[in-house]
Amino acid sequence: MNEFDFPAWLRVTHLLNFFLIGLLLRSGWQIIATHPRFYWRNDCGPGTEWIKFTKRVVPPEEGAYTAHDDELEPPSWLTLPGGRNPGLGRHWHGLATVLWILNGLVYVSLLFLTGEWRRIVPTSWSIFPEAWESLKIYVGFGIPSIEHFTPYDALQQLGYFTVVFIAAPLMIATGPTMSPAFIGRFPWYPKLFGGRQAARSIHFLGMAFLSLFIVVHVALVFITHREYNVTHMVFGEYDPARVAQATTIIISTIVLVVVAWLAISYLSIRDRRGSQKFLYGALEPFRRVTLNRLKPRMHRASVYTEKDISPYHWTNGRYPAPDESPEWHELAAHDFRDYELEIGPADNPVRVPFDRLKALPQQEQIVLHACMQGWTGVAKWKGPRVMDVMNLVGPPPADAKFLVVTSFGLAQSMSDGRPLEPFYSVIPIEDCREEDSIFAWMMNDKPLPWTFGAPLRLRVESYVGYKMVKYIRSLEWVTDYSTIGDGMGGTREDSGYQVINARI
Ligand SMILES: Nc1nc2c(c(=O)[nH]1)N[C@H]1C(S)=C(S)[C@@H](COP(=O)(O)O)O[C@H]1N2
Ligand SMILES: [Mo]
Atom of ligand 1 nearest to the CA of 371: 14
Nearest CA to ligand 1 atom 24: 469
C-beta 441 within 6 A of ligand 1: no
Asked if residue 478 lies in contact with residue 386, where contact means CB atoms within 8 angstroms, the answer is no
C-beta 317 within 6 A of ligand 1: yes
Say whether pLDDT at 173 is over 80: yes
Average pLDDT over residues 342-346: 95
- Predicted structure pTM score: 0.95
Distance CA 242, CA 250 (A): 12
C-beta 313 within 6 A of ligand 1: yes
Q: For a pLDDT cut of 70, what percent of the chain falls above it?
A: 97
Atom of ligand 1 nearest to the CA of 314: 21
Average pLDDT over residues 95-118: 96
Nearest CA to ligand 1 atom 1: 470
Q: What is the DSSP letter of 297?
A: -
The Å distance, Cα 465 to ligand 1 centre, comes to 6
Mean pLDDT for the chain overall: 94
β-sheet with 422-428: strand ranges across = 350-353, 340-343, 472-478, 402-410, 422-428
C-beta 407 within 6 A of ligand 1: yes
C-beta 424 within 6 A of ligand 1: no
Say whether pLDDT at 17 is over 60: yes
* 188-237 per-position pLDDT tens digit: 899 999 999 999 999 999 999 999 999 999 999 999 899 999 999 999 99
* 421-442 per-position pLDDT tens digit: 999 999 999 999 988 899 999 9
With the most atoms of ligand 1 within 8 angstroms of its CB, the residue from 58, 372, 470, 474 to mutate is 470
Distance CA 177, CA 188 (A): 10
* Residues surrounding ion ligand 2 at CB below 5 Å: 316, 371, 465-466
The ligand whose atoms approach the alpha carbon of 468 most closely is: 1
Residues 6+ apart with CB under 8 A from 84: 34, 71, 73
The Å distance, Cα 67 to ligand 2 centre, comes to 8
Average pLDDT over residues 120-132: 94
Handedness of CA 62, 68, 73, 74 (dihedral sign): positive
